[in-house]
Amino acid sequence: MDTNDSLRVASLWHSMHAISQQLSPTAGTKFFVVCEPRTQHMEALLKVVYELYTDYVLKNPFYEMEMPIRFELFDINLTQAVQKDRVALLGR
C-alpha cells in the first residue's frame, strides 16, 4: 500500500473504534465484521471469532489484556474460519 492507502485504512479503523466505544462503553476487546448489508451468517462468524479468541488468546498465560494479539495459532485458525465462511457465502 502506498502512504495514502495506509492513511485511509488507519482512518477507517480509528472511526470504527470510536463507533464501537459508543455502542458498547464497557472496556475490553471488541470484534466487528465489515460486510454488505443483509449478509447472512455474520453473527455466527463473530461467535466463532470470539471462541477462537478465548481458546487461543485468553487462555494463553503470556497474554496481557488490551495488548495487541500476536499468536500464530489464533491467526491461522481465524484465517481458516473467515475463508470457510467466505466459501459458504460465495459458494467458492
Cα Rg of the chain (Å, integer): 15
Predicted confidence at residue 91, as pLDDT, reads: 56
For residue 8, count other CB atoms closer than 10 A to its CB.
Answer: 12
pLDDT at 87 over 80: no
36 and 23 within one domain: no
Residues 6+ apart with CB under 8 A from 44: 85
Question: Does residue 82 sit in the same domain as residue 48?
Answer: yes
> Average pLDDT in the 7-20 region?
85
Q: Are residues 79 and 36 in the same domain?
A: yes
Q: Grid coordinates representing 22?
A: 459508543
Average of per-residue pLDDT across 68-89: 86
- Give CA separation, 39 vs 13, 44, 56, 82, in Å: 21, 11, 27, 14
Q: Which structural domain range is residue 14 located in? A: 1-27
Report the predicted TM-score, pTM, of the whole model to 2 decimal places: 0.70
pLDDT tens-place string over residues 55-69: 999 999 999 988 889
